[in-house]
Amino acid sequence: MPKPLWAPWRLEYIQTADEQEGCVFCNAVESDDDEAALVVHRGRHAIVLVNRFPYSSGHVMVAPSRHAAEFGELNDEEALELHRLADRGMGALSQIYEPQGYNLGWNLGRIAGAGVVDHVHLHVVPRWAGDTNFMPVLADVKVIPEHLAETRRRLAEAWPT
Ligand SMILES: [Zn+2]
């Protein structure tokens, strides 16, 4: 049996997500500052950004540029591009972090772990053997901001063309 991902800071995030201003994905789409918004790549119908509350190092999310709440609301172009961008994201992640595997997933609804419930997004989470052991170290709030900016920069540079 694989060990469940244990990321205690995620719980704190999910509990406070409703208090945050605006939609993190729409804010990123509208932002002209990729570094501040942690945007790795902008596609035609979707964007890729680094998760501020990661399950693991290199955790990115792919979201439609349009504020779509329902998984089934995605049109064909969006659905295709989300999958293709997830694949290219894995390409960039593999170059930089050399993970041994990935979890790709949709958290639909608060009970399923979604911090943002009204803008669907696909999680791309790199995995390494034993990663549940070191992940709590990443919860150090003093370390995370630098870590995320660096992750964004490296992924943007490694993005497959
Ligand atoms: Zn949105």
Q: Which residues does 77 contact at the CB level (< 8 Å), separation at least 6?
A: 44, 45
* DSSP letter assigned to residue 120: -
SS3 assignment, position 126: strand
pLDDT in tens, the chain (161 residues): 445 555 555 555 555 555 567 899 999 999 999 999 999 999 999 999 999 888 788 999 999 999 998 999 999 999 999 999 999 999 999 999 999 999 999 988 888 778 788 999 999 999 887 766 444 444 444 345 557 888 999 999 999 98
Angle at 77 between CA 103 and CA 68, to 5 degrees: 70
| CB neighbours of residue 63 within 10 Å | 25
* Per-residue 3-state assignment (H helix, E strand, C coil) for 45-78: CEEEEECCCCCCCCCEEEEECCCCCCHHHCCHHH
Alpha-carbon gap, residue 145 to 118, rounded angstroms: 25
Contact 66, 103 (CB under 8 A): no
Q: What is the pLDDT of residue 1?
A: 46
Q: What is the pLDDT of residue 121?
A: 95
Q: Which residues are catalytic?
A: 121
Q: What is the pLDDT of residue 119?
A: 94
- Please give the torsion angle defined by the CA atoms of residues 65, 69, 75 and 81, in that order, rounded to the nearest 10 degrees: 40
Q: What is the pLDDT of residue 8?
A: 55
Centroid of ligand 1 to alpha carbon of 8 (angstroms):
25
- For residue range 32-66, what is the model confidence (pLDDT) as tens digits? 999 999 999 999 999 999 998 887 889 999 999 99
Alpha-carbon gap, residue 95 to 160, rounded angstroms: 10
Centroid of ligand 1 to alpha carbon of 23 (angstroms):
5
Centroid of ligand 1 to alpha carbon of 36 (angstroms):
17
